[in-house]
Amino acid sequence: MHFDLLNNIQGDIFRASQFLNHALFDFSELLRWSYAVDDFVTGSKEKILIDHIMFTQAMVNWTLPNVCVEPKAGKVEHEIHDLVNATLNRNQKTSDHKPVSVVLSVRGGD
């Protein structure tokens, strides 16, 4: 009873500064998927987001002195994944998951 996994992952409304943010919350909804699976029931290809980057509230609005995750910093790397895997056969492909990334802004750095 003393350990609440949901509050630890999602954050507690009474301690909003401890909420975890999702790097892809403002990424295009049409592209916000990292894995495609054939649905044998409907026969369609379902696109789902199962790869995530989470960060603490301290990483936004320059709360930390030298690093920040700014809006639109998260991305599912569809283009580079498709480019790298385009000429590879099934056994050579890097992964069936699209990589996800986030750009960290650094003060005094590039």
Distance CA 74, CA 6 (A): 23
11 pLDDT higher than 80: no
pTM of the model: 0.77
Q: Which domain holds residue 15?
A: 5-106
pLDDT digits (tens, 9 = 90+) for 13-43: 666 666 788 899 999 999 999 999 998 888 8
As a whole number, mean pLDDT of residues 61-73 equals: 93
Residue 63: how many CB atoms within 10 A of its CB?
Answer: 12
- Mean pLDDT (the chain, rounded): 87
Predicted confidence (pLDDT) at residue 9 exceeds the cutoff of 70: no
Question: Shortest CA distance to 78 belongs to which of 11, 44, 33?
Answer: 33
When divided into structural domains, the chain yields a total of 1
Of 13 and 67, which is predicted with more confidence? Answer: 67
pLDDT at 6: 57
Residue 101 CA to residue 52 CA, distance in Å, equals: 9
